[in-house]
Amino acid sequence: MDLPVCHLVHWDDIDRWADALAGKISAAGRSPETIVGLTRGGWVPSRLLADRLGVKHLAALRAQHWGVTATQTGKAEITEKLTSPVDGRSVLVVDDITDTGESLRLAVEHVRATGPRQVESAAFLHITHSKYVPTYYAEEVPKERWAWFIFPWNYWEDIRTLSAKALPEGKDSAGVRQLLLEQAKIAVPEADVRQALAPPANRS
Ligand code: AMP
């Protein structure tokens, strides 16, 4: 059993990336009329950017590519359409990270086909092997430093998946915690591992 190398993202990283991204968009002279957040990773980044850029109109779109933590499900596809029309508007499509870049590329194409005046894209993190490069990104991650980024909005989902994967070898919460440290390179409190391994009905 091999766990992917992970990186725990904290809220101050998120704040820094949101500031950096909003700064780049403003410096480019852009003020989008609508922000489209990709479900689910792009929701919090979209809301934070909307606040910083003073955008009142938010929409959602679901592009799916990755299933459970660090496992690709195959080809990206739009599984939930745009929640509100954007024809004639200037639109910014937002996601948390471009890894293969397939989700954002597909989402931008989908939005463009609905007739907006202009479409640009943004992501907090951009991994250099991504085939699609967002118009704006806060930080570039060299492909040699690929990791599974555990964003605060995905913390429990990721810790649950990783802990369940490590359990047969780790045997108990202390063993799982140790495997998370050695293989995934993340220090997770044992209480969180215990909570992640508890059946839903027993979670506090
Ligand atoms: P992709 O289409 O490969 O660019 O990625 C689609 C979505 O999967 C992203 O918006 C993230 O929510 C998630 N994802 C992909 N790669 C990573 C990663 N290395 N770390 C955390 N989340 C990821």
Closest C-alpha to 100, from 80, 84, 123: 123
Q: What is the pLDDT of residue 67?
A: 67
Q: How confident is the model at residue 73 (pLDDT cuts 50, 70, 90)?
A: low
Write the DSSP symbol of residue 182. Answer: I
Whether residues 59 and 135 fall in one domain: yes
Contact 69/161 with Cβ under 8 angstroms?
Answer: yes
Amino acid residing at 75: K
Look at residue 4 and tell me if it is in a domain: no
Distance 65 CA to ligand 1 centre (A): 8
Whether residues 101 and 15 fall in one domain: yes
- Say which CATH number the domain at 113 has: 3.40.50.2020
In angstroms, the Cα distances linking 197 to 105, 135, 149, 153, 166 are: 35, 40, 20, 19, 10
pLDDT in tens, 23-42: 999 999 999 999 999 999 99
pLDDT in tens, 116-146: 999 999 999 999 999 999 999 999 999 999 9
Averaged pLDDT, 156-167 = 98
**Is 150's C-beta closer than 6 angstroms to any atom of ligand 1?**
no
Look at residue 102 and tell me if it is in a domain: yes
pTM of the shown model: 0.94
Look at residue 94 and tell me if it is in a domain: yes
Q: How far is CA 129 from the centre of its chain?
A: 16
Distance 78 CA to ligand 1 centre (A): 15
Q: What is the pLDDT of residue 6?
A: 98
Look at residue 81 and tell me if it is in a domain: yes
**Is 101's C-beta closer than 6 angstroms to any atom of ligand 1?**
yes
What's the number of domains the chain is made of?
2
Q: What is the pLDDT of residue 130?
A: 96
Q: Which residue range(s) make up the domain with 46?
A: 10-146
Nearest CA to ligand 1 atom 18: 148
Look at residue 111 and tell me if it is in a domain: yes
Look at residues 105, 126, 146 and tell me which one is the last residue of a structural domain.
146
